[in-house]
Structure 1
Amino acid sequence: MPIAKEQKDNLFVLVKSLSKSEKRQFKLYVGRLGVNEDSKFLTLFNILDKLHVYDEEAILKKGFVKKQQLSNVKAHLYKQILISLRLNPSHQNVRIQIREQLDFATILYHKGLYKQSLKILDKAKSLAIVNEEKNIAYEIIELEKVIESQYITRSISSRADELTIQAKELSQQNVLASKLSNLSLQLYGIFLKTGYVKNDEEYHWVTNYFNDRMPVYDIHKLGFREKLWLYKSYLWYSFLIQDFLSCYKYARKWVDLFYDNPNMIKLNPVFFLRGNQYLLEALFFTRNHKKFKNALLELETVSNKKWFPNDDNVESLKFLYIYSNKFNLHFMEGTFKEGLPLIDEVITGINKHKSRLDAHHIMVFYYKIASLYFGIGENRKCIAYLEKIISNKSLAMREDLLCFSRILNLVAHYEAGLDYNLDALIKSTFKFLIKMEDLYEVQKEMIKFLKGLGDIYPHEIRREFIKLHDKLLQFEDHPYERRAFLYLDVISWLKSRIENKSVDLIIREKFIESNK
């Protein structure tokens, strides 16, 4: 596939990611270097810019470079593009400015201009501390200590004490932040590997793991960065044990931390967006419609303000989080038909951002589109989108999404009257599911029911739907089973069959009743 070839060559992907202004900036930068227009790396840049797919043979046919030279020319071009991007005003932020000042101070130090170097370092250190860049601040102090030990001043004794105390405080804060960030990352790793806890044994294991690794801290002494990692750790623990109210609590603390420190939104827009995504996810899981709607509106409003950072990565994340939750809003409200215009917008967005969206998130979008079509009875369209997920053999996705895609596919085939191959479909689905470990009870009951469909007479079908409905209802509030219904609202589907109404109407009635 062409896309796979593109992704293999890092230089090609980098060139294709450049905006028009970044390409113009690169050519201006190269011009300032006084590089000959026939320079090989510039020629390579122009060729790659015009190619749609990376093609080494096409590059070599141009005759400006030999095969054995190409890797060196590519490496040189890659480096020059990065330098050009670093100089681009759109990529300048406080973090880069501090690093630049540290570089300047290092040059001055090596020239023996100690006083000038210390002056720059002092300003850079203040900027780093104010902006919670404590790792760089620690680096700056270490260089200050080196210079002070060679540049003798009358205040050296008091200066030595001051730098020693600062270094010790920053070191302690950095160690704590490192422990918390490690814990957060480890919990996220467990989540990706095993998913949510499915029984008491797993619950106790995760709880002990979390408590054993949580460092001792005083919340009043924590800075922005330490609090952020602390809230992240608690959030991932809460997700793992399916305590969605606690998820909401820590996601809210995470987002409020940014609103209390608005300069941090500009410096860390990705963390701000992710915090909002987890907040919305927790509100969706707890079915808190009012807070969900307000949080989504607030996220859209803030992220569209002129001062909000706006690079390619931020744009892709905004698209991913906002549209994913727009779908969820329609699922909560039962307004499936009103959600249909989102489909074209999302397909356009996927094409626009595909180089920065991983395959898993694209498949999640397809599942949401399939669910939307299923809700309004457009079962063939639902099947078409599920097929994109099921046929993607190379995809490393969370097992629960693959599982529910197959179950919904079976239900949609049944609903569409496509029962000529239902037996074969049930067998292949069953074969896939028995390979999975720790199926939800909801999934097991669904498989059992669908497997027995062929033996049920038409006049008995309604009674069987009622039986399954009553059986599954007991799992709706089960601590380890309830999440299954968020992927596939089986109970609403069964009710729609029993009452002979559309799925979206059943969900809409349920929503109106619970929001009176």
Structure 2
Amino acid sequence: MNAHFDLRNFQQFAKTLKQFEAFSESSVAQMHDNNRIQAFVYLNSAKLNLEMIVGNFSAGLVLVPTIEQQLDEYSLYLDRHRVLVFNYKIATLHFGAGNYNECIDYLRKIINDQVDLRSDLQCYARLVHLLAHYELGNTDIIDHLIKSVYRFMAKMQNLTVIEEEVFKFLRKSFSVHRSMLKPELEKFLQAIKQFEKNRFETRAFAYLDLVSWVESKLYDKPMGVVIREKYLASNRRIKYGTL
């Protein structure tokens, strides 16, 4: 399921999720606590992923209270890494839904965590945290955050050409007049869109659909609408055999 999510294989992802959901209710999956907890982790992680790749951020957030209740219930049996991943997914759902303050709250749970796990998750938590503050217009701290996040990602050796373009755009966006922001967004989109289908760069897009975020700002549409339109277009291409 993770591979289908990373590659945005909508149809196969949904099909595999349905199969796994059926398995999670089987006697094998429910046989003992370990199987039941693992089924919970993979199933609910996939459910959140599905809502993200089809742009239904609000629908994904509806699942969060139940997931958090179960995370609390299974807390003694779950490693910290699993919890951090759920926090990141919930944060990105809030980001996509435009709930930037809530997004920041969940990302802080990752950033402030002292467990030395998943440097990639720590890097992208900081990057999305930066973007959330950018969306909120917190210009008084953006410059500091840009420098801080850039240094951290460079130290963790997690800077690819895509992240470099993000930082380039953010730095430039505060030095141009608002009327000139659209041309900068177009340049930014052109710079990163070419890597969207590059198998060596797909990891960056798996953490956050940056292309859709830029398009949402460029075309003045909610991010969820942009992603949903792509999902529907993909379904039409599959239906008519043009994919």
Does TM, normalized by the shorter one, top 0.5? yes
CA displacement at 1:307 relative to structure 2: 5.4
2:111 is aligned with 1:381:
no
Unaligned runs of 5+ in 1: 1-279
- In structure 1, the partner of 2:178 is 458
Whole-angstrom distance in 1 between the partners of 2:158 and 2:12? 33
Secondary structure, aligned partner of 2:116: coil
Whether the 8 Å CA contact 2:212–2:223 is kept in 1: the answer is yes
Instruction: Please give the alpha-carbon distance, in whole angstroms, between the structure 2 residues aligned to 1:300 and 1:478.
Output: 30
1:423 aligns with 2:143: yes
Residue among 247, 267, 288 paired with 2:9: 288
Matches within 5 A, 1:212-291: 280-291=1-12
User: Are 1:359 and 2:80 an aligned pair?
Assistant: yes
Whether 1:484 and 2:211 are equivalent positions in the alignment is no
Larger Rg: 1
Select the residue among 302, 309, 312 that pairs with 2:33: 312
Q: CA deviation at 1:482?
A: 2.2
Question: What is the identity, as a one-letter code, of the residue corresponding to 1:349?
Answer: Q
1:385-464 equivalence runs, <5 A: 385-392=106-113, 394-437=114-157, 439-464=159-184
**Letter of the structure 2 residue corresponding to residue 295 of structure 1:** T
Structure 2 vs 1, CA of residues 307 and 327 (structure 1 numbering), >3 Å: closer, same or farther?
closer
Contact persistence 1:360–1:396 (CA under 8 A): no
| C-alpha spacing 1:438/1:297, structure 2 compared with 1 (3 Å) | closer
Distance 1:505 1:360, change over 3 A: same
Amino acid paired to 1:287? R
Please name the residue that 1:329 is paired with: 50
Conserved? CA contact 1:475–1:481, under 8 Å:
yes
Q: Secondary structure in 1 aligned to 2:174?
A: helix
The one-letter amino acid of 2:123's match is: C
- 1:427-469 deviations in whole A, cap 9, x for unaligned? 2212212212252211111122223332122111111111100
Normalising by structure 1, we get a TM-score of: 0.44
Which letter maps to 1:362?
V
Letter in 2 for 1:469: L
Q: Counterpart in 1 of 2:239?
A: none
Higher relative contact order (CA 8 A, sep 6+): 2
Question: What amino acid is the match of 2:165?
Answer: E
Cα 1:416–1:438 shift into 2, 3 Å: closer
Partner of 1:228: none
Contact 1:492 1:507 in 2 (8 A): yes
Deviation per CA, 1:37-67: give whole Å up to 9, x if none.
xxxxxxxxxxxxxxxxxxxxxxxxxxxxxxx
Q: Matches of 2:159 and 2:62 in 1, distance apart?
A: 35
Deviation at 1:320, TM superposition (A): 0.6
